[in-house]
Chain A
Amino acid sequence: MKKYLPLIVLILLAVMPLAGLAGLLSSYILHMIILVIMWSVVGMAWNLLAGYCGQVSFGHAAFFGVGAYTAGILHSHLNLSPWWGIPASIVVVGLFSLLLGLIVLRLRGPFFALATLAMGEVMRISSENLDWLTGGNLGITLQRTWVDKTNYYYIILAIAVAAFLVVKYLMRSKIGYYFVAIREDQDAAESLGINTTLYKTIALCISGALTGVAGAFYTNYMGYIEPSVVFALHDISIVAIMTVMVGGVATFFGPFVGAIIMVLLAEVVRSIPYLGAAHLTFFGILLILIIIFLPNGIVGDFQKIKRIFGAGGAGK
């Protein structure tokens, strides 16, 4: 049963918009589900780099934003369909990650994290000022392809499934073993013949490219991007981290669970009068609680949760 669970979930996800045709699914709920899946992709990407390879990034907004602007600029400058941004962002963000890696992967641990944090901000400020390329603070507006959300839903679902398969395949192969070895002890990994610089760069490029694809999708889906949105530190970089921390670091399904909770939490909190603007405070409180009580996230500490809530309080 457990073996077929991902398949069952996938089938349910695939037929779900039919409920929309029957009028059971509002456009608003579909929007939320699209956001959840999009954040799962970003979460999986962050998880690959930070969860498995141990390189904690505070700047995934840089990849998201470059992906988003790849789609936007293809449209605004070359008059191409912004959908070309999805394949293009794999190349563009992949190369961008490679360049970034040459600089930041020389650093380890917290220094790496700080360098990525800075990189995210550098990209935001650059895009605000490169008016000729990005349109500056006015952002880029484009005509959305469809009014109905169903097609967007299937596209992001396909991206998420592809991302999941990529991560799953990688983690079963030599590359996956090398990523985890680097996370556990970089010096030991190096002495075992693992080219740590090369494999960290691979992790960064794949993670960056996946995030970039999510960014390019975002441009197509929302029809409008601006630097302070797609390069946002708190709304992109930090949410990417939280999605994985809440769901479960270095687990296959953690990013999905985390994405559901983060998107719901953001929506619920934003709808509370007076407190809505303080949604980041709630994120902070949630993160503190997770770190104290479920350091491995909901998926990682699932046994612990079952013990606490299950079996009629058989535990303490």
Chain B
Amino acid sequence: MSLLEIRNVSKRFGGLAASSDISFTIQKGEILGLIGPNGAGKTTLFNIVDGFYPPTKGQVLFKGQVISGLKPHQICKLGLARTFQVVKPLQRMSVLDNVIASAFLRAKNKAEAVEIAMETLRFTGLDEDQDVISRGLPLGKRKKLEIARALATGPELLLLDESFAGLNHSELNESIEIIKNIKARGITIMIIEHHMKVIMSISDRIVVINYGQKIAEGTPQEIRNNPLVVEAYLGE
């Protein structure tokens, strides 16, 4: 059984088809890259998977259970966490409090939540910034905070929405390292990314969407040589 199954999902906003008839699966333990030109419908797909939008048609199954129609917090409780492309730190809370707030999902008491939060901050390299009010964090650290917060909810599947965008070279390498460590913990990852080098190097498989439709699926090598993908990115 696949961990996540997206089954014929379509989403229409009025006359605009943001997603049409998309199907693919994610296996436990893999990193699945989701790529496509701007406006292809990648974030919309994330929003459908984690419950912010109900799909117009089709279903999303997580661990064999239909989750489309559930609310985001219910889906999170089942073990599916996400980050936002436009980061949403809880601005007037410290970095530590941000992560404590999400760690409470699995913690029985505050001491345990603090413990989970501290461990997560060390894991993502934010432990030195734990007392900083998150409004004052630079972008690179905000992106890390998004990941830390999602991790603290104890997910089995993590959806990362452009966690690398806007990072400088050293931040990029740190983040890649974090993603690899997350995978090593047995957490499955679906990641949206524009940075081709990164996505090609870390993904086990890649799904390409364009104009809301899936146009290709395969290993990074297959995707690189797929004429449809090259056309979508470079034009005819």
> Which residues of A come within 8 Å of B, CB atoms?
172-174, 177-178, 180-181, 184-185, 187-196
Q: Which of B91-99, B167-175, B216-224 contacts A (4 or more CB under 8 A)?
A: B91-99
Please give me the residue from chain A that is nearest to B108 by CB atom: A174
Q: What residue in chain B is nearest A180 (Cβ atoms)?
A: B93
Once A177-B100, A177-B101, A178-B104 are accepted as A-B contacts, the answer to whether A191 and B90 lie under 8 Å apart by CB is no
Q: Does B19 contact A (CB under 8 A)?
A: no
* Chain B residues whose CB sits within 8 angstroms of the CB of A195 once the complex forms: 71, 73-74
Asked if B211 is at the interface (CB within 8 A of a chain A CB), the reply is no
Q: How far is the CA of A195 from the CA of B72 in the complex (A)?
A: 9
Distance between Cα atoms of A188 and B84 in the complex (Å): 8
Contacts of B150 in A (CB 8 A): 191-192
Chain B residues, Cβ within 8 Å of A196: 73
Supplied contacts A172-B110, A188-B88, A191-B52, 8 more A-B pairs, CB within 8 Å: A174-B107, A188-B89, A188-B149, A191-B72, A191-B81, A191-B150, A192-B102, A193-B73
- Does A174 contact B50, Cβ atoms closer than 8 Å? no
**Which among B90, B92, B113 is the interface contact of A174 at CB below 8 angstroms?**
B113
- Bound form: Cα–Cα A191–B76 in Å: 6
| A-B contact number at CB 8 A | 77
A191-B93 contact in complex given A173-B110, A180-B101, A181-B101, C-beta closer than 8 Å = no
Give the A-binding residues of B (Cβ under 8 A).
50, 52, 71-74, 76-77, 81-82, 84, 88-93, 97, 100-102, 104-105, 107, 110, 113, 149-150, 153
- Residues of A close to B104: CB separation below 8 A: 174, 177-178
Expressed in whole angstroms, the Cα–Cα distance for A194 and B100 within the complex equals 12
A-B contact pairs, 28 of them (CB 8 A): A173-B110, A174-B104, A180-B93, A180-B97, A180-B101, A181-B90, A181-B101, A184-B89, A184-B93, A185-B89, A185-B91, A187-B72, A187-B88, A188-B84, A188-B90, A190-B71, A190-B72, A191-B52, A191-B72, A191-B73, A191-B84, A192-B76, A192-B105, A193-B81, A193-B153, A194-B73, A195-B73, A196-B73
Residues of A within 8 A of B82 (CB): 191
Collect the chain B residues with CB atoms within 8 Å of residue A184's CB: 89-93
Q: Nearest chain-A residue to B100 (Cβ)?
A: A177
User: How far, in angstroms, from A18 to B102 measured CA to CA in the complex?
Assistant: 49
Say whether B90 contacts A193, CB under 8 Å: no
Residue among A173, A190, A191, A194 with max Cβ neighbours from chain B (10 Å):
A191
Nearest-neighbour CB distance to chain B for A214, whole angstroms, equals: 28
Shortest B89–chain A CB gap in Å is 8
Query: Which residues of chain B come closer than 8 Å to A180, judged between CB atoms?
Result: 90, 92-93, 97, 101
- Return A173 CB to nearest CB of chain B, in Å: 7
- Across the interface, name the chain A residue whose C-beta is closest to B50: A191
**With known contacts A180-B93, A181-B93, A184-B90, A193–B102 Cβ distance under 8 A:** yes
| Complex Cα–Cα for A144 and B93 (A) | 47
Q: Report Cα–Cα, A187/B77, bound state, in Å.
A: 15
With a cutoff of 8 Å between Cβ atoms, the chain A residues found around residue B100 in the complex are 177
Most chain B CB within a 10 A radius of its CB, from A184, A185, A195: A184
A299 to B170, CA, bound (A): 42
Q: Is the CB of B110 within 8 A of A187?
A: no
Residue among A180, A185, A190 with max Cβ neighbours from chain B (10 Å): A190
Q: Which 4 A-B pairs have the closest CB atoms?
A: A193-B76, A184-B90, A188-B88, A192-B102
When chains A and B are docked, how far (Å) is the Cα of A73 from the Cα of B76?
A: 46
B93 contacts A174, CB within 8 Å? Answer: no
CA distance A210 to B81 in the complex (A): 36
Give, as a whole number of angstroms, the nearest-CB distance from A113 to chain B: 20
CB distance from B129 to the nearest CB of A (A): 17
Query: With the chains together, A193 CA to B100 CA distance in Å?
Result: 12
Q: How long is the Cα–Cα vector from A258 to B73 in the complex, in angstroms?
A: 36
* Least CB separation from A195: chain B residue: B73
Residues of A contacting B105 in the complex (Cβ-Cβ under 8 angstroms): 192-194
Complex Cα gap A267–B105 (Å): 48
- For A177, list chain B residues within 8 Å (CB): 97, 100-101, 104, 113
B52 & A187 in contact (Cβ 8 Å cutoff) = yes
User: In the bound complex, how far is the Cα of B149 from the Cα of A185, in angstroms?
Assistant: 13
A192 with B92: CB separation less than 8 A: no
Nearest residue in A to B83 (C-beta to C-beta)? A191
Chain B positions within 8 Å of A193 at CB level: 73, 76-77, 81, 102, 105, 153
Q: Which residues of chain B are within 8 angstroms of A188 by Cβ–Cβ distance?
A: 84, 88-90, 149
Task: Give B201 Cβ to nearest chain A Cβ, in Å.
Answer: 28
Chain A nearest Cβ from B69, distance in angstroms: 15
- Tell me, in angstroms, the Cα distance from A189 to B113 when the chains sit together: 16
In the docked arrangement, what's the CA distance between A129 and B52, Å? 43
Given the complex of chains A and B, what is the CA–CA distance between A192 and B103 in angstroms? 9
